[in-house]
Amino acid sequence: MTGRIAIDWGFRKPSVLIMAYDEELDATVICHEINPKEVTTEQLTTLILSIAWPRSLKDKAPSDRIWLDTGVADKAGKARNDQTGQSAFRVMRREPPEGIGVPLRHTSDPIKVDILNGVQRLKRAFNSKKYLITKEVWEKGERATGNSLRKALLSYGWDNKEQPKKDGREDPLDALRYDCITFNWNDSVVDQKYKPRSGGRGRTRKVTVGGGKTRSF
């Protein structure tokens, strides 16, 4: 299976999801997560390498690992050691043990990085079973003393401004959102609806919806 990694740098508590794409299921399986506190980029690298390793350098791995082929991360995030997100990207790209040996992708597309767009796309991906979670990850998430994907999913909510609440438990879902907008994105009416406005009047766009009807946006 193709291995992927998704990282939300965080400031004090980064979140890392390690996944594998199953061609038979046509789904990405979340098979491990790392949610430490107060770590530098170098320390986070060590934690990742204890579980995953770049496939291109598997002959140098100390033992069997989850083999990584690609990854994604939040470009705007900052690591705990006050490096910028871009600096953390460079650190991670180095060969083990200094980095994870995998170039991490990111996007600055204003439509894709819009939080509401990402949340809506992630919801659709879950509904269509594009993402699956192993039983082990789900059960460990309940017992975790810190953040976990399970806690993030079960506590997710909205404020009175129709924005996701920031309660400190959302970091694993932020990492998954970055993966989703990179590897599970497609255009739709919802995506266009939530396009950030830059001021002034934009062009009217007609989109065909159910029943052959058209709507203007």
7 bridge partner residues: 16, 73
Q: 60 in a domain, yes or no?
A: yes
Q: 21 in a domain, yes or no?
A: yes
What rounded mean pLDDT belongs to the chain? 83
Q: 11 in a domain, yes or no?
A: yes
Collapsed DSSP state (helix, strand, coil) of residue 41 = helix
Q: 70 in a domain, yes or no?
A: yes
- Residue 39 sits in a domain whose CATH number is 3.30.420.280
pLDDT at 158: 81
Measuring CA to CA, which residue among 71, 90, 23, 40 is closest to residue 183?
71
Long-range CB contacts for residues 53-56, cutoff 8 Å, separation at least 24? 53/96, 53/100, 53/101, 54/95, 54/96, 54/100, 54/101, 54/102, 55/3, 56/101
Measuring CA to CA, which residue among 77, 86, 51 is closest to residue 65?
51
Q: 200 in a domain, yes or no?
A: no
pLDDT tens per residue, range 81-94: 455 555 788 889 99
Q: State the residue for tokens 């530098």.
A: 40
Q: 215 in a domain, yes or no?
A: no
pLDDT tens per residue, range 91-139: 899 999 999 999 999 998 999 999 999 999 999 999 999 999 999 999 9
Three-state SS sequence of 121-184: HHHHHHHCCCEEECHHHHHHHHHCCCCCHHHHHHHCCECCCCCECCCCCCHHHHHHHHHHHHHC
The whole domain housing 64 covers 2-193
pLDDT tens per residue, range 165-190: 777 789 999 999 999 999 998 744 34
Q: 205 in a domain, yes or no?
A: no
Q: 202 in a domain, yes or no?
A: no
Domains identified in the chain, total number: 1
pTM for this predicted structure? 0.81
